[in-house]
């Protein structure tokens, strides 16, 4: 195993997405590189075989792998991402039932399409920051789908908080503090929604109790509220899901899991902005998307998720002594799966720094091939259960953007790899023409 005795935390903060590929290059491209992060011994893994290893729950666990700053910003304490074994499978089935069913994907997608049409009508004739606007409409749509509908202004505030959580998970200082505050605000709001739903349910059943409904909540306020709509995530998480011991989720954990539906949906704004960036840099792709139907738009969405930087790496812990690529990895070692480097490895991808949706045309990538939202099996493992929704939304947005009559004013569209997470510095400013919703619009004014 290649060694690197110096703690790499500062180097990671300085180099961002380039950190893992640079570290591997410094050790002749070794598939296993020893390092340290935040004082902990760590091993950087690379390659398709590493993906298979990393998503084998018998050999790699999640409990204890994520540092406190990530839990307090991105995922939340007690989230499914931190669980293993039967506990993880039970909680994962909850999210799979909500996010991977045809009804779940189509229901959320329909709300987003409607919100997009309404938003675009209001953008005509003026400049807007695409990232901000898409985040806001995604927040409104997913909150409605979850069962906690909010007015437009509140949706924008929720979007800002969700963006702050993602933006600050890998940062120190003000960005991290904003992320912590944003998570606390949104968790509290969802805890209140869970408590009210339980009070209302028990009131209707004629047997309300503080223990069941949640201590510290005003029961009268709950009695005046409506039951959560049937089939919504709020109803399922608050009233129906049971842990392996038969208990309901506590209010905080229920709120964490609801937020872990809302926050990742808002985070699709990163991919949508990257899709707009790709269409701007490669204007010929617009005509292809207009003529190519869903299959070409889906291939385009896959390539956006491969080409652009989103997740730098994923962390786990060796559950037992391991051997990978001939090297010994002791139990308890922090394992880092190199995601960005995986997606730009010339041994895995032809011309990896060339944006080429044709590489996915007519085929779906394998479980260890394209891993921006994890590898392995989403039904049983730690791969993100919201990936189908992400693909559905990004396929729609890619096609919709290609059909828009828009101008891209002069702005800074650079994407700094040193920043995690990253996006075009400007947020991608666009100006919408009056025929922006026409299927036949074809003009693109590109000055950047």
Which of 61-75, 190-204, 241-255 shows the lowest mean pLDDT across its residues? 61-75
Answer yes or no: are the C-beta atoms of 431 and 394 closer than 8 Å.
no
Residues 306-335: what's their mean pLDDT? 94
Residues 261-278: what's their mean pLDDT? 97
Answer yes or no: are the C-beta atoms of 34 and 8 closer than 8 Å.
no
Closest C-alpha among 165, 160, 166, 111 to residue 136: 160
The CATH topology of domain 9-446 is: Cytochrome p450 (1.10.630)
Q: Rounded distance, CA 96 to CA 385, Å?
A: 6
Question: What pLDDT band is residue 225 in, cutting at 50, 70 and 90?
Answer: low
Answer yes or no: are the C-beta atoms of 69 and 176 closer than 8 Å.
yes
Answer yes or no: are the C-beta atoms of 370 and 306 closer than 8 Å.
yes
Which of 23-37, 301-315, 368-382 shows the lowest mean pLDDT across its residues? 368-382
Residues 303-320: what's their mean pLDDT? 95
Question: Is 120's pLDDT higher than 50?
Answer: yes
Average pLDDT of the chain, as a whole number:
88
pLDDT at 95: 81
Higher pLDDT, 172 or 432: 432
pLDDT at 320: 95
Q: Rounded distance, CA 290 to CA 167, Å?
A: 33
Question: Is 435's pLDDT higher than 60?
Answer: no
Question: What pLDDT band is residue 215 in, cutting at 50, 70 and 90?
Answer: very low
Residues 285-292: what's their mean pLDDT? 92
Top-ranked range on mean pLDDT: pick from 214-228, 234-248, 369-383: 234-248
In DSSP notation, 6-70 reads: SB-HHHHHHHGGGHHHHHHHHTTT-SEEEEEETTEEEEEE-SHHHHHHHT-TTTEE-TTTS-HHH
Distance of CA 442 to the CA centre of its chain: 31
pLDDT at 223: 42
Question: What pLDDT band is residue 419 in, cutting at 50, 70 and 90?
Answer: very high
Residue recorded with tokens 């009131």:
203
pLDDT at 179: 94
Domain boundaries defined on the chain? 9-446
pLDDT at 5: 60
Question: What pLDDT band is residue 170 in, cutting at 50, 70 and 90?
Answer: confident
Answer yes or no: are the C-beta atoms of 300 and 357 closer than 8 Å.
yes
pLDDT at 86: 82
In DSSP notation, 174-233 reads: HHHHHHHHHHHHHHHHHHHHHHHHHHHHHHHHT---HHHH-TT--HHHHHHSPPPPTT-H
Q: Rounded distance, CA 161 to CA 266, Å?
A: 10
In DSSP notation, 371-389 reads: -BTBSS-TTTSSS-TTHHH
Instruction: Please tell me what DSSP assigns to residue 2.
Output: B
């Amino acid at each position: 195993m290649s060694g690197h005795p110096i703690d790499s935390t500062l180097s990671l903060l300085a180099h961002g997405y380039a950190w893992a590929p640079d570290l591997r290059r410094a050790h002749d491209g070794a598939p296993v590189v020893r390092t340290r992060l935040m004082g902990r011994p760590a091993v950087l893994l690379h390659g398709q075989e590493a993906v298979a290893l990393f998503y084998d729950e018998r050999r790699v666990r999640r409990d204890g792998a994520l540092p406190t700053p990530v839990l307090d910003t991105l995922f939340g304490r007690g989230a499914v991402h931190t669980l293993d074994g039967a506990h993880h499978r039970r909680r994962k089935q909850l999210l799979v039932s909500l996010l991977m069913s045809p009804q779940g994907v189509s229901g959320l997608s329909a709300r987003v399409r409607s919100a997009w049409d309404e938003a675009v009508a209001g953008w005509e004739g003026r400049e807007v920051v695409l990232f901000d606007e898409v985040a806001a409409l995604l927040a409104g749509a997913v909150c409605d789908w979850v069962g906690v509908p909010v007015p437009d202004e509140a949706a924008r505030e929720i979007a800002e908080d969700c963006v702050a959580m993602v933006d600050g998970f890998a940062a120190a200082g003000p960005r991290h503090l904003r992320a912590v505050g944003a998570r606390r605000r949104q968790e509290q709001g969802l805890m209140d929604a869970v408590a009210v739903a339980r009070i209302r349910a028990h009131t209707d059943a004629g047997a309300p109790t503080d223990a069941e409904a949640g201590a510290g909540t005003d029961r009268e306020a709950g009695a005046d509220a409506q039951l959560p709509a049937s089939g919504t995530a709020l109803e399922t998480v608050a009233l129906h899901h049971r842990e392996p011991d038969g208990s309901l989720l506590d209010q905080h954990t229920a709120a964490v899991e609801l937020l872990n539906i809302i926050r990742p949906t808002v985070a699709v704004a990163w991919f949508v902005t990257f899709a707009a960036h790709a269409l701007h840099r490669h204007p010929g792709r617009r005509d292809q998307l207009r003529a190519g139907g869903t299959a070409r738009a889906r291939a385009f969405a896959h390539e956006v998720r491969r080409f652009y930087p989103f997740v730098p790496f994923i962390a786990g812990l060796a559950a037992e002594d391991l051997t990978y690529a001939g090297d010994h990895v002791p139990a308890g070692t922090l394992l880092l799966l190199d995601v960005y480097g995986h997606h730009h490895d010339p041994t895995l991808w032809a011309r990896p720094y060339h944006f080429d949706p044709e590489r996915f045309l007519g085929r779906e990538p394998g479980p260890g091939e394209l891993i921006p939202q994890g590898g392995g099996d989403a039904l049983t493992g730690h791969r993100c259960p919201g990936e189908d929704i992400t693909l559905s939304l990004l396929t729609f947005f890619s096609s919709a953007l290609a059909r828009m009559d828009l101008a891209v004013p002069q702005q800074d569209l650079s994407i700094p790899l040193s920043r995690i997470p990253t996006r075009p510095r400007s947020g991608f400013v666009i100006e919408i023409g009056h025929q922006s919703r026409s299927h036949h619009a074809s003009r693109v004014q590109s000055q950047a």
